[in-house]
Chain A
Amino acid sequence: MAWVTPSQRSTGDLITAAIWNQDPVDNVQFLYDNLAMQPIYSVEVGAGGAASIDIQNIPQTFGALKLVTHCRGTSAASLVSLLLRFNNDGGNNYDYNVIRWDNSSMIYSPAVAQSSAFIGRFVAATGTADVFNACECVIPSYANGNVQKATVSHSGHKHGTAVGNMTSQISNNFWRSTAAITRLTLFPSADNFAQYSSVYLYGWMGV
């Protein structure tokens, strides 16, 4: 469906089916298909939690993926790491560079040849009740079978109400594979995702 710039109409003009189908219908469909960010999938963890969230059969029609999470962990810790694998690859094929800071310090935490990508952190069981933390991760060219994949993500973590209980993180991850990404598996570095943790996956068109 191609875009056709709509014509101005005047009072008394006859709007035929062809005009209607092109101006509003096809053009809106074109915008939806090509310019909008489309929701692919979203899930909320139920009672009992989840050891991991495994999204399979990801459509290969987008230019980039955007993963948004809002999570809490069940581990007896204030914070845990949010890890990600592509295509269920658990080999040491991930490299990352991470910077994290709070009100008094800044940690640089690069690592190579890891078994998963490290896209963020989130509050766990010893953190303030009902607090959940957000993370956003963009995966461009995920369907391109000719290039190794790279992601950029950031997350914010809060596990208490003191100023020192908040940290932020920027992470850059690299996957040593040119395979098109069809599957994303998210999991915490320890224990499970708590109930009400949510994951949203969107696709961006590559226009």
Chain B
Amino acid sequence: MAELEPTAYADVLTVDAETGAVSTRPLTEAEIVERDALAAEAAVKAEEDAKLEAEQQAARTRLEATDTAALADTAPAKDLTEANAQLAVVRALLVDALVALGVAAPSKTADSAEKG
């Protein structure tokens, strides 16, 4: 494991809220050790969060792909065309049957309709 560069900490900025007096002092050795430990801990946490975020992003991408595929499956154009063709066949059979039974008059073809 590579050795980490020691952090160069700036001074602590101390202010007195009552008097407004401002002063600075360097971090103590104990404070530096603690801050370094906190930084290492934060780096681990940031890595975990980044991993979680990437997993969420991947899950979201998968979900969107699934949605797109589902929408494509239910696209109406092809299915309705087939359904309309089947409906036309059924309708023609029904008309023929009604004509044969004498319930309905033969339907006019486009040609006969033009001739009146």
Contact = CB atoms under 8 A, between A and B. Distances in A.
Contact of A54 (B9, B15, B42, B43): B15
A73 to B, nearest CB: 11
Contact of A57 (B16, B22, B39, B45): B16
A105 B31 CA distance: 35
A201 interface: yes
Interface stretch (A13-21, A28-36, A131-139, A188-196): A188-196
Contact of B15 (A56, A80, A90): A56
A58 B34 CA distance: 25
B19 interface: yes
Given A51-B9, A107-B49, A90 B16 contact: no
Contacts of B20: 41
A148 to B, nearest CB: 22
Contacts of A191: 7, 9, 39
Interface string B56-82: 110010000000000000000000000
Nearest to A191: B7
Contacts of B35: 51, 187
Nearest to A80: B42
Contacts of A81: 42
Contact of B60 (A41, A104, A187, A201): A104
* Size band of the interface chain A makes with B: 35 or more
B66 to A, nearest CB: 16
Contacts of A102: 53
Name, among B9, B22, B31, B52, the residue most crowded by chain A CB atoms within 10 Å (CB to CB). B9
A102 to B, nearest CB: 7
B56 A104 contact: yes
B89 to A, nearest CB: 50
A81 B40 CA distance: 12
A75 B76 CA distance: 55
A75 B4 CA distance: 13
B38 interface: yes
Given A41-B17, A57-B17, A52 B38 contact: no
B27 interface: yes
Given A51-B10, A201-B17, A83 B38 contact: yes
Interface of B: 7, 9-20, 22, 24, 27, 31, 34-35, 38-39, 42-43, 45-46, 49, 52-53, 56-57, 60
Interface of A: 40-41, 43, 45, 48-59, 74-75, 77, 79-81, 83, 90, 100, 102, 104-107, 109, 115-116, 187, 189-193, 201
